Amino acid sequence: MSEFVVNDPKGLDFRVHRAAMVDPAVLEREMRRIFDMCWIYAGHESEVTAPGDFVTRTLCGRPVMLCRDSAAKVRVFLNVCRHRGAVVCRERSGNAKGYTCFYHGWSYDRDGKLDGVPGESSYPVSFDRRELGLAEVPRVDSYRGFVFVSFNPRAMALDEYLAGAKEYLDLVIDQSPTGQMELIRGTQEYAIRANWKLLVENSFDDYHLMSTHKTWLDYMKKSGVAIPKPAKGHVMPAHGVGKALGNGHAVIDNENFRGRPVAKWIPIYGEEAKPEIERIRAELVTRLGEERARRVADTNRNLVVFPNLVVNDGSSVTIRTFHPAAPDRMDVTAWALGPKGESAKARAIRLDSFLTFYGPGGFATPDDVEALESVQQGMSTWREVPWSVMTRGMAKAGEQLNTDELHLREFWIQWEKLMDAAP
């Protein structure tokens, strides 16, 4: 499949073939060689806190249940009955003593053990309940509250997989005085009529900010936020860099100009929010020291964990993940993440700040969605206009800007590598 990515550093050429966004055979291969081989974000530990807590969702095309077992251990089961395969738990979330499939009434306990089979005496001696518990996703592990799964039993350890992305997850989690973050109630679930890889690119592509998000920048300006004039060579208000983090993960790491709940006040937050933001800032400095506090509070970071997890630590912290439903459609889920135990006031500021930019009703995300759907329409000309050029910053030695495309190339290089790898 290497015909989809041209990567010629000497010739200063990097191109992506647009058929990769429309070909059903490419998607089929992606499902097997990328989504079934990598570590995939499954949820956050704070979504399930007590024994019996569960949430259900679809990962890589499969219904799964993220839950706490009777020993309060996080488990991820394939949410299908071992008898005929019906989905067992059909509620979005809750707490359960066990899980019963409604079809023939097989029931499972919190640990996934099959503990009830109506009319069991009709089964022959070969029938063994112990072999028919809920199946688990082959690999489950977590990093500081972020739960990942892999459908690949031979996947490398999660720690090794995350590589340099861990440092950037740490920067997010260090916001919290308790060292723990939690998912906030309320889920944004929406579909985009575009190929999933376009959202990967978009999530850390700062080159589009000035043109796609002009109305958001105008709104910020009008509300009294200083939008500094870009320095020469930049097309962004603030300085930022693009960095590769290994295994296809990459990040943009920018000086903040847009305000941060932790902890940089802007006028949109209101005068009355100032003391709270100052208090959060002071706690950060006491706990982490001036330098680390500055790193946490004064930079915005958009992190892509290959292939489909985005953690944006900007106007607020958002976790966003997406799965392809077709070459030209993806289903996106986004949550807000906040420090566990933060004050009611800080939580309100965080959520308000979230909505100025992010989400299907924000002042920016709908225009991103529009851009991706517009690109997808354009992909129909792939036979006549086959290539997308992706060379920004390629000739530079040293620092790559957030508006360059090193981080996009990093994604595509890993994509190509996995697509070419023998299964």
Partner 1 sequence: MTSRAEVEDFLYHEAALLDEWRLDEWLALLTDDAKYRVPSNDAPTGDPANTLFLIADDIDRIRGRVARLKDPHAHAEFPHSRTRRLVTNVRVVENPGDLEVFANFAVYRMRRGGQESVFVGRYRYILRRVGGALRIALREAILDPEELGRLGAVSFIL
DSSP string for 311-367: EEESSSEEEEEEEEEETTEEEEEEEEEEETT--HHHHHHHHHHHHHHSSTTSSSHHH
With contacts defined by CB under 8 A, how many residues of the chain interact with partner 1? 41
Give whichever of 108 and 363 is closer to partner 1, judged by the CB atom: 363
Nearest 5°: phi and psi at 7?
Answer: -130, 100
Cα–Cα separations (whole angstroms), residue 57 to 62, 194, 319, 333: 8, 21, 15, 10
- Closer residue to partner 1, CB minimum distance, 189 or 420: 189
Residue 43's region, left for phi above 0, alpha for psi from -120 to 50, else beta, is left
- Continuous segment of H or E residues that includes residue 226: none
Q: Of 170 and 370, which has the nearer Cβ to partner 1? A: 370
Q: Residue 283: what residue type?
A: E
- Do residues 374 and 195 make contact, with C-beta atoms less than 8 angstroms apart? no
Q: Which residues, numbered 42-101, are part of the site for partner 1 (CB under 8 A)? A: 92
Say how far apart CA 74 and CA 69 lie, in whole Å: 7
CA-CA distance, 52 to 94, in Å (whole number)?
8
- Nearer Cβ to partner 1, position 178 or 377? 377
**Cβ distance to partner 1 smaller for residue 218 or 420:** 218
Q: Which is nearer to partner 1, 104 or 214 (CB)?
A: 214
Q: Which residues pair with 159 in a beta bridge?
A: none
Closest separation between CB of residue 332 and partner 1, Å? Answer: 9
Question: How far apart are CB 37 and partner 1 at their closest, in Å?
Answer: 28
Strand ranges in 121-255 using DSSP code E only, listed in sequence order: 139-143, 146-150, 181-183, 188-192, 240-246, 249-255
Tokens encoding 80: 């299908």
Among 103, 100, 102, which residue's Cα sits nearest to residue 116? 100
d(CA 18, CA 21): 6
Task: Find the binding residues for partner 1 in span 223-282 (CB under 8 A).
Answer: 223
Minimum distance from CB of 240 to partner 1 (Å)? 22
Q: Which is nearer to partner 1, 236 or 349 (CB)?
A: 349
Strand order in the sheet with 146-150: 40-44, 146-150, 139-143
Nearest approach in angstroms of CB 211 to partner 1 is 8
Q: Name which of 192 and 394 has its Cβ closer to partner 1.
A: 192
Q: What share of the chain is helix, strand, coil (3-state, %, to 5)?
A: 35, 30, 40
Site string for partner 1, 333-372 (x = CB under 8 A): --xx-------x--xx--xx-xxx--xxx-x-xxx-xxx-
Give me the least distance between CB of 314 and partner 1, in Å please: 15
Smallest distance from partner 1 to CB 328, Å = 12
**Closest approach of Cβ 200 to partner 1, in Å?**
18
Q: Give, to the nearest 10 degrees, the angle between helix 290-297 and helix 274-288.
A: 130
> Which residue carries 């796609």 as its tokens?
212
Residue 112 Cβ vs partner 1, minimum distance, rounded to whole Å: 25
Those residues whose C-beta lies under 8 Å from the C-beta of residue 69, and which sit 6 or more positions away, are: 51, 75, 110, 111, 112
- Closer CB to partner 1, residue 160 or residue 218? 218
| Ranges within 199-228 binding partner 1 (CB under 8 A) | 212, 214-216, 218-219, 222-223
Nearest distance, CB of residue 361 and partner 1, angstroms: 4
Q: Toward partner 1, which CB reaches closer, 63 or 138? A: 63
Nearer to partner 1, 319 or 401 (CB): 319
* Least Cβ distance, residue 231 to partner 1 (angstroms): 24
Restricting to residues 181-200, name those near partner 1 by CB under 8 A. 184-193
User: Least separation, in Å, of the C-beta of 326 and partner 1?
Assistant: 12
Binding site for partner 1 (CB under 8 A): 92, 184-193, 212, 214-216, 218-219, 222-223, 331, 335-336, 344, 347-348, 351-352, 354-356, 359-361, 363, 365-367, 369-371, 377
